[in-house]
Structures are given as structure tokens and as C-alpha cells.
Amino acid sequence: MLFGALFVQLNVIQVLRADSYNNNPNNTRAIVRDFSRPRGQIVTVDGTVVARSVPAEGRFERQREYPEGELFAGVTGHFSFIAGADGVERIYNDVLAGRTTETASDIGELLLGEPRTADVTLTIPIEVQRVARDALGATRGSVVALDPRDGSVLALWSFPSYDPSLLSSIDIEAAQEARDRLLADEAKPLLPASYRETFFPGSTFKVVTAAAGLTSGGVTADAPRYPSSSAYVPPLTTSPINNFGGGACGGALFSILEVSCNTAFAQMGVDIGPGALVSRAEAFGFNDVPPLDLPGVVPSPIAETSSFDQNTPVLAQTAIGQNAVRSTPLQMALVAAGVANGGQVMTPHVMAEVRNDGGEVIDTFDPKVWTRATSPEVAATLTEAMTGVVEGGTASRLAVPDVRTAGKTGTAQLGNGLSHAWIVGFAPADAPRVAVAVIVEAQPGASEQTGGRVAAPIAQAVLSAALDATAP
């Protein structure tokens, strides 16, 4: 009986719970095993080394270092004896350490010989990442840029960040002190908020609401024409939803998106119903974990359809990006990318290719569709509407010179005099190559102009840099 119990428990640990143990960030066994072994580099698509191992003296034969400091911390992660691995260092650990059959010339070398390491090439051009960092500056927030055609990540930045070299030091006491300081920091520099933290998306979510209305057939580019109003009172409440500044607005789809009309979109959400809104959000990827090849990616939640039964006030608030919906910056970038790519959301990825230490390409990322968000016809209508937001609405500062640009601003109120400033967009609108999402957290005041005033110039700089770095 005891041997039987032991056999069952071993299978539970080694089979049923293996993945959870292997992926636990507190599990450092793989790091202990690989810390002194040869290890490949992580390089940008344009050849800049962002992680490498160098010879060291003492207990360990090698030291992992990150020449660009904090710039790629949210992507490379760290390779630390005391903190384990994160980011690309964790997801592609076996490749970097030469522990896969693809990096060995034969099985004998894999089992007995010196491992052949491999280098991981990122999809991110270093200049685009630098522009994202510099444009956001010392303001808490995140920037995500994607190529909507194949899902390549072009920028992935959150401030604050940290220097991975501090955690990866072979001075274990110094590494532990650095980790303790970072964990104690209330600003959470170890958290790459771009894909691990969710926020109210505010009016950027109106792109999803518009897609739901268009897909349901209850909304077209010309109808309905919502009444000009400064307040909308949903059924089952006496509390109104107001427009920013108390102004009145209304009209057909293009007009209400251009000025980000709360009253109209709140009514749209109630009119089309929770089933249409939730199902369309899920078609864009909400309530699912985006398959980005980095650890710890979190889903962007929207409440279940049943939760809106007899709760039209919450449905109306959700339709304008508040209350029962939250999103990561990554997810909102995927919303923009889905519209830009004719309704198809491609699988996001940071790995472009893997080369063994002989320079041979042994793996490349195969672009594939993650989800079908809308029909091409709906995506085309949304593109025209979002182009109008840039050309004559709240997102004018997103416009890239001489490039037709599409976008949508957002302001998510936090209820304490602060609001998150958002923007999403893509360019060129006629043949998109770059989609972007920017959030600038906890800005004073609340105005629909906040996203256009604060977030749009950041996104415009990133769009411009990414367009220069990508081929038509």
C-alpha cells in the first residue's frame, strides 16, 4: 500500500503537476543546472546584443549581462541564480542553453558533449524600442507596437523598468539585495505592465463596441443616428451617463466615434445587447490569454453575458470601456492590429528566428491567425471611422506626417481625480504595417482630450519610428 501511494504521488508530481512546477518562477532548479553552462545570446532584429554570457571568476564560470540595461527587461527578463529566469530567458531557456536536439549535431553530442548553444533573434528593432522608452519618459505607462500583418512585436516597453544585470550578478548577496529592493518598490519595476497588468480601457474600447454594432447588423455607417444629448439614462436606473465636459453629441457612427460620444455608445451597447458586445470582445481576444511567447501573460477580462441580465446600467458603462471590462496594453494593441489586418488578429510574438552557434537558422516563427475578430467589411468600415478620428477628431496628434493614420483616444476615469490616458491606432491606414497602443497612467483631470493630448504624441513617435524600420 505504501509503495502504491508513493507511485501515485510520483506520477502526480512528475506528470500531472509537472508544468506548474516547471513554470513556477520560484523554481530555480533549471537555473542552478544551467547557470555556469555556455549560453546563447539574445539579439535584436537589427543585430544589437541585449543579453550575453561573459567569462567570470570564482564559483561560477560565466556571468550573464544585459548591455542595454533596462531597455529590454520586459522582453529578455533575467537569468538569475536567486530569482530564476523570466522573459525570453525562461521561454527559450533550453534553446539558449543548448538543451534541444535542434542545437546538437547528433544525439551523442546532446548527451555527452559540450552543448551547442543558440542565439534568439527578437522581432524588435532597437531604435523603435528606444523611441518608445524616450517618448514615454519618466511617466508610468506602457507602449506596445505590432506588425499587424504577422504579429511581430516592434516595441514592448513599460515604465518603470529595471536592469536585469543586477539580478543576474554572480555576487549572490548583491543580487539578493537588488531583488529585495525591487520587490519592495511600490512602483513595481519588475512587473512588465504591458502584458501582465489590466486597466479600464476607456473610450478605446468603443472600437470593440462599434465592431459589435456593425457585426450585429443593428449599426451601419449611416444608421442609426443617435440623438444629440448631454446625458443618457440607461433602463433600470435614474443615474445618467454623461459626456466629458457635459457637452451634447450624437449622430451616426463616424460622427460619434470622431468625438468619442459617451451617450451614443452607451445607448449602442444597450441596444445591441450583452450577447453581441461580449461575443465581439471575445472575438478580439478578451477573456483569453494572448499567445505571446513570454511568460505570465494575463487575459483581459470582460464580464459574462449572464452578468448583464437586468443590469443595463453596467452594460452601458461597459460599452464605453468602464466597469465590467479591463485590458492589458497588449490586448488593445491587438484590437488595433485586428482592425488593421482586415479583421484577423495574428499571433503576437517576440522571437523572429533562432540560430545555432554555427550561424545556421534552426527555427523561425511561423505567422498564424490567433482569432477572427471581424469580417473584412466591418474592419474596412472601422478603418474609415478611425481615420476620421485622426483627421477631424480627438486623435489629431497621432497623425504621422504624409501618412494616412487611423486611431482612437480614450480616457479611463479612476474616480479620484485621476484618469488613464489611452490611444490605439495604426498606419498607413490604406496598407497598415504598424499598430500601436499607449497608456499613460494616472493623469490628473478627466477629459476625452486627455488621450489625444498625452498619449497620442507618444504613439505618433513610435508609429513613425516603426514605419521607418519595417518594409512595405
Question: Which residues are known catalytic residues?
Answer: 203
What nine digits make up the cell of 357?
552557434
Element (H, E) at 266: helix 262-272
CA dist 451 and 81 (Å) reads 41
CB 341 within 8 A of CB 149: yes
| Helix (H), strand (E), coil (C) string for 349-368 | ECEEEEEECCCCEEEECCCC
C-alpha–C-alpha distance, residues 219 and 234, integer Å: 18
| Cβ pair 438, 422 in contact under 8 A | yes
Torsion of CA 207, 209, 212, 213, to 10 degrees: -100
Distance, in Å, from the CA atom of 9 to the CA atom of 20, rounded to the nearest integer, reads 15
CA distance 205 to 329: 12
Residues with Cβ < 8 Å from 234, sequence gap 6 or more? Answer: 241, 266, 267, 270, 312, 313, 315, 316
Question: What DSSP element (H or E) covers 421?
Answer: strand 418-427
Q: Note whether 171 and 222 are within 8 A (CB).
A: no
Q: What does the block give as the cell for 365?
A: 516563427
